[in-house]
């Protein structure tokens, strides 16, 4: 895999930057022309900023219990000074959770978890999916049949359900939940890569490389796989959205991140029975999940439109 | 057509076998002693030895798989330790809730999603279009468990004492008679085999209330179904609206639409007869794809609304480590999913005759 990563930019320089405008510049321009994609990028930018700087901007330690340190009680309503909350009381923008911790700080730290969850599961699924899809598409025959039938079976399960079943075997916990979601999302990437490989396998430039004595690895990684890059980027961006949503669902059910980890799904799950008495503890984590997922969905849709060759005449 | 259906049915057999293999492996991979996992921690060695022999767990692994497939084909899903009853019976009791919930959610998402998609395609770039698309993007991004909790809060706490109040949990209000139709009709209570199916039908509250003319139950069941089915329908609804829009937009740009307009057909006729019919295929595809999300979402929705369906049973079984149920219910839901997809494939062939010949 390292070979893939190291050779791709090089190919980019050799092949595309010779012309005055590169594919990525065109894509970039098209992306900025779409309002929804720009909104997605802005939200995502803010989230990344929060995730990187959270230790300086969060007012409290996310797992510190404030009982005895401050005059607050469990599930206290939000107290915001500029909105009329007396300044004698400590400020808690989103209130205090069931274990007397600052909800706002936990929410900010949750950004970090959410992005880590999204990127690790999708990276895992892309790596495995690319290997399987490339093998299936390039070698064909029984290899293709075996790999793709296994993928069909994985796709035959509703994804969240299969993830639940896998976590049941592995045992609850964030790591296992991530592994489960990663496994469940492999088929999508394997299919994308296989389709790209099949579409270029018989092309003349591939035959030319073969005739020039290029070995299988070189053909696969340098000549064939770069074609799968654009659909993979689109699928991966949208996949991060699904992964974050599924991981939150698993944590909500108690199968993913365990307390006191400030993970949004588990924060929501811990307080779900208090929704009628302390709705803010359910409301804010849900909004945070929805915003994060929305940003990846908007960006993914924008990328798909920008990278779609059928829309090439637009720019 | 028949040939196509037969071929599709045959093609789904390996997938079904694969599903059984996966669930079988999941059950065998669970760490620890299978006997104590199924019978409970307190089982004695003698009981365990007999259990292992009876279940064929001392036989080679492929023989065990054969036994397992045979049992499933005969409709025998084993016993639940926690509820000490056959899993088949539990299914007959729990499945109706999930079926009602999923059908209601699917109907809502289609009835709202398809017209919204068509209108935003016809009125491309209008405010209807913009609002629909913003809403559709938000809809696919909301966690269903959060939406469910928020709906419950708004409709049963904030709107309390208004005509819009809706119950936050449960399937029917206590005290409402809910006799299954076979008892009302004076048919003996069935016990096994086909009787399980009668039992299943009798627990489908909406069907049962109509069969027994129990209008109070019908109204109560529908009122209880509103919030969970609406929460569950959001994601498929958003996907369907988006797909209907883009599919309609593509079809509306075709030459034959211009021809239809040019020969003087009314807009209504062009849109509904010429354009909609031709844009149906991708819409059916996305409906098929959202079924999986619907079944997965049912686990979350049932947990949030305290409904005793298959999803809730699965969740309880996982926390109680009742592996028999986990395995059986996963198989049932996955098989259900495969059958639904089969239905979607067959409807493709109906909608587009070219597919039959591929």
pLDDT tens across A151-164, in order?
A: 988 888 888 888 98
A102 - beta bridge partners? Answer: A96
B358 pLDDT band (50/70/90 cuts)? low
Q: Which tokens belong to B305?
A: 């609304």
Flag whether residue A135 sits within 8 Å of chain B, measured between CB atoms. Answer: no
Tell me, what's the pLDDT at B267? Answer: 85
Report CB contact under 8 Å: B146, A153.
no
Q: Which tokens belong to B271?
A: 């849109």
Tell me, what's the pLDDT at B199? Answer: 82
Q: Which tokens belong to A185?
A: 């999302």
A9 pLDDT band (50/70/90 cuts)? very low
B109 pLDDT band (50/70/90 cuts)? very high
A218-246 confidence digits (pLDDT tens)? 888 888 888 888 889 989 999 999 999 99
Q: How far apart are CA A140 and CA B24, in angstroms?
A: 29
The pTM (predicted TM-score) of the whole model is 0.86
Secondary structure of residue B85 in the 3-state scheme: strand
Flag whether residue A105 sits within 8 Å of chain B, measured between CB atoms. Answer: no
State the greatest distance between any 2 C-alpha atoms of chain B, in Å, as a whole number.
85
Report CB contact under 8 Å: B157, A276.
yes
Check: CB of residue A164 under 8 Å from CB of residue A250. yes
Tell me, what's the pLDDT at A13? Answer: 43
Secondary structure of residue B183 in the 3-state scheme: helix
Nearest CA among A230, A298, A290 for reference residue A265: A290
What is the DSSP annotation of A80-136?
Answer: -GGGT--TTSPPBTT-B-TTS-BHHHHHHHHHHHHHHHHHHHHHHHHHHHHHHHHHH
Closest approach of chain B CAs to the CA of A211, in angstroms? 35
Tell me, what's the pLDDT at A315? Answer: 32
Tell me, what's the pLDDT at B38? Answer: 66
Q: Is the pLDDT of residue A18 over 70?
A: no
Q: Which of A152, A269, A286 sits opposite B15 (nearest CB)?
A: A152
Which helix (H) or strand (E) segment is B80 a member of? strand B79-80
Flag whether residue A249 sits within 8 Å of chain B, measured between CB atoms. Answer: yes
Secondary structure of residue B130 in the 3-state scheme: helix
Q: How far apart are CA B316 and CA B286, in angstroms?
A: 31
B67-76 confidence digits (pLDDT tens)? 888 888 887 7
Tell me, what's the pLDDT at B192? Answer: 64
| Residues of A whose CB is below 8 A from B21 | 153
A90-111 confidence digits (pLDDT tens)? 888 898 888 889 999 999 999 9
Check: CB of residue A16 under 8 Å from CB of residue A22. yes
Tell me, what's the pLDDT at B18? Answer: 87
| Residues of B whose CB is below 8 A from A265 | 143
| Residues of B whose CB is below 8 A from A152 | 15, 18
Q: What angle do CA B51, B55, B61 make, to 5 degrees?
A: 125
A200-220 confidence digits (pLDDT tens)? 888 888 888 888 888 888 888
Please state the rounded mean pLDDT for residues B199-212.
Answer: 86
Q: What is the CA radius of gyration of chain A?
A: 23
| Residues of A whose CB is below 8 A from B15 | 149, 152-153, 156
Flag whether residue A275 sits within 8 Å of chain B, measured between CB atoms. Answer: yes
Please state the rounded mean pLDDT for residues B233-254.
Answer: 91
Chain B residue closest in CA terms to A150: B18
Q: Which of A156, A171, A294 sits opposite B337 (nearest CB)?
A: A156
| Residues of A whose CB is below 8 A from B319 | 254
A31 pLDDT band (50/70/90 cuts)? confident
| Residues of A whose CB is below 8 A from B334 | 156-158, 161
Mean residue pLDDT across chain B = 84
Q: Is the pLDDT of residue B116 over 90?
A: yes
Q: Is the pLDDT of residue B322 over 80?
A: no
Q: Which of B146, B168, B330 sits opposite A268 (nearest CB)?
A: B146
């Amino acid at each position: 895999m390292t070979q893939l990563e190291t050779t791709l930019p090089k190919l980019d320089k050799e092949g595309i930057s010779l012309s005055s405008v590169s594919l990525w510049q065109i894509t970039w321009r098209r992306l900025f022309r779409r309002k929804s994609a720009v909104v997605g990028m802005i939200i995502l930018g803010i989230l990344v900023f929060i995730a990187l700087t959270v230790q300086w901007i969060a007012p409290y330690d996310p797992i510190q219990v404030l009982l005895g340190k401050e005059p607050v009680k469990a599930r206290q309503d939000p107290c915001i000074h500029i909105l009329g909350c007396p300044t004698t009381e400590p400020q808690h923008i989103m209130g205090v959770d069931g274990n007397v911790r600052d909800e706002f700080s936990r929410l900010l730290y949750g950004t970090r978890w959410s992005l880590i969850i999204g990127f690790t599961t999708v990276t895992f699924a892309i790596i495995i999916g690319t290997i399987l899809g490339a093998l299936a598409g390039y070698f064909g025959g029984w290899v293709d049949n075996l790999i793709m039938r296994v993928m069909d079976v994985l796709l035959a399960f509703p994804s969240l359900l299969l993830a639940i079943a896998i976590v049941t075997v592995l045992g609850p916990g964030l790591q296992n939940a991530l592994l489960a979601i990663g496994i469940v999302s492999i088929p999508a990437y394997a299919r994308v890569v296989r389709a790209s490989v099949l579409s270029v396998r018989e092309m003349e430039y591939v035959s030319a490389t073969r005739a020039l004595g290029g070995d299988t690895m070189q053909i696969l990684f340098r000549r064939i796989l770069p074609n799968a890059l654009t659909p993979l980027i689109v699928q991966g961006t949208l996949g991060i959205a699904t992964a974050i949503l599924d991981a939150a669902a698993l944590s909500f059910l108690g199968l993913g991140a365990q307390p006191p980890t400030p993970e949004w799904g588990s924060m929501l799950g811990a307080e779900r029975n208090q929704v009628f008495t302390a709705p803010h503890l359910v409301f804010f984590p849900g909004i945070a999940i929805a915003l994060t997922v929305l940003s990846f969905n908007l960006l993914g849709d924008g990328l798909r439109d920008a990278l779609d060759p059928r829309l090439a005449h637009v720019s | 057509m028949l040939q196509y259906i037969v071929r599709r049915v045959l093609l789904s057999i390996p997938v079904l076998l694969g599903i059984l293999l996966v669930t079988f492996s999941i059950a065998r991979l669970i760490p620890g002693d299978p006997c104590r996992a199924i019978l409970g921690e307190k089982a004695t060695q003698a009981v365990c030895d007999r259990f292992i022999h009876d279940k064929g767990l001392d036989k080679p692994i492929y023989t065990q798989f054969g036994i397992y497939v045979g049992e499933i084909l005969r409709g025998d899903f084993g016993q639940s330790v926690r509820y000490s009853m056959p899993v088949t019976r539990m299914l007959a009791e729990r499945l109706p809730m999930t079926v009602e919930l999923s059908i209601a959610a699917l109907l809502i998402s289609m009835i709202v999603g398809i017209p919204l998609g068509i209108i935003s395609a016809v009125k491309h770039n209008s405010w209807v279009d913009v609002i629909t698309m913003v809403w559709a993007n938000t809809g696919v991004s909301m966690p269903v468990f959060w939406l469910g909790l928020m709906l419950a809060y708004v409709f049963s706490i904030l709107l309390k004492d208004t005509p819009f109040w809706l119950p936050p949990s449960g399937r029917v209000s206590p005290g409402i008679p809910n006799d299954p139709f076979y008892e009302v009709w004076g048919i003996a209570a069935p016990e096994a085999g086909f009787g399980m199916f009668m039992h299943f039908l009798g627990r489908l509250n909406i069907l049962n209330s109509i069969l027994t003319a129990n209008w109070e139950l019908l109204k109560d069941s529908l009122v209880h179904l509103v919030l969970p089915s609406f929460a569950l329908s959001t994601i498929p609804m958003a996907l369907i609206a988006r797909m209907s829009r883009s599919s309609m937009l593509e079809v509306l740009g075709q030459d034959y639409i211009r021809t239809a307009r040019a020969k003087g057909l009314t807009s209504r006729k062009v849109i509904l007869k010429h354009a909609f019919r031709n844009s149906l295929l991708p819409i059916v595809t996305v409906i098929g794809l959202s079924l999986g999300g619907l079944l997965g979402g049912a686990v979350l929705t049932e947990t949030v609304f305290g409904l005793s369906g298959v999803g809730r049973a699965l969740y309880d079984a996982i926390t109680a480590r009742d592996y028999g149920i986990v395995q059986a219910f996963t198989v049932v839901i996955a098989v259900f999913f495969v059958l639904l997809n089969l239905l979607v494939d067959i409807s493709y062939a109906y909608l587009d005759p070219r597919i039959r010949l591929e």
